[in-house]
Amino acid sequence: MEISLSRVHYPVSTLGPGRRVGIWFQGCSIRCPGCISVDTWRVKPAQTSVDQVTSLISPWLAECDGVTISGGEPFDQPLALHALLLSLSAFDKDVLVFTGYSTEQALQMMHGWDGLIDALVSGPFERHTPQTKPLRGSDNQRLTLLTARGTVRFSGYERLLRPEDRQLDLLMDADGTAWLAGIPRPGDMQVLQAWLAAEGHRATTTELSSTTP
Ligand code: SF4
């Protein structure tokens, strides 16, 4: 099964409990205003297969605490997502999936996928809606616990954000490119850009409002 991904990374520590494998899908048809991942919107031809991805990340899967799937929009590639989830199920790790579709839409698309997703964060990002809960960029987004494991692992996220909640992981690619994973709070990216600019560095986000030179 072919799949189009933006990136994979390990470890990610801001998108669920523990040290997690992060898998970002490429392509998003939802296009929320204010999305900070505009680079994942464009649909690109599938460049790999689920088998290849699973093989690549299997050393990480052996030792990680869980898997987070985000995007882009994972449900825009429903067959690839299902095949990936089936592959991941062999590793017996918790699986958290982010989607911009509503809970009802996502549950409909997940018909027959029982047990493959432990927790789902659903709903579009709304830039003018407050952000007071962990794992959510805006409070309209819902956390749904779909399995007993999901309840154990994620029910603690049904609370208000705390100052100590980590927001962003700084990750390095092999080519030296640094990028951030996580759910920034409003204004975080602008603050980061200002800090870096003060040190003589240039930072860009993929948010539409800040990508225009
Ligand atoms: S926030 Fe998620 S669903 Fe919304 S446009 Fe960005 S990638 Fe797509």
- Whole-model pTM: value is 0.90
Task: List, in order of start, the domains of the chain with CATH numbers.
Answer: 2-164 (3.20.20.70)
Which one is predicted more confidently, 209 or 102? Answer: 102
**Which residue minimizes the CA distance to atom 2 of ligand 1?**
100
Q: Which residues contact 104 (CB under 8 A, 6 or more apart)?
A: none
Mind listing the pLDDT tens digit for each residue in 161-174? Answer: 998 786 788 777 77
Q: Is the CB of 71 under 6 A from ligand 1?
A: yes
Closest atom, ligand 1, to C-alpha of 31: 5
Could you tell me the distance, in angstroms and rounded to a whole number, from the CA of residue 198 to the centre of ligand 1? Answer: 30
Question: For residue 210, what pLDDT is reported?
Answer: 33
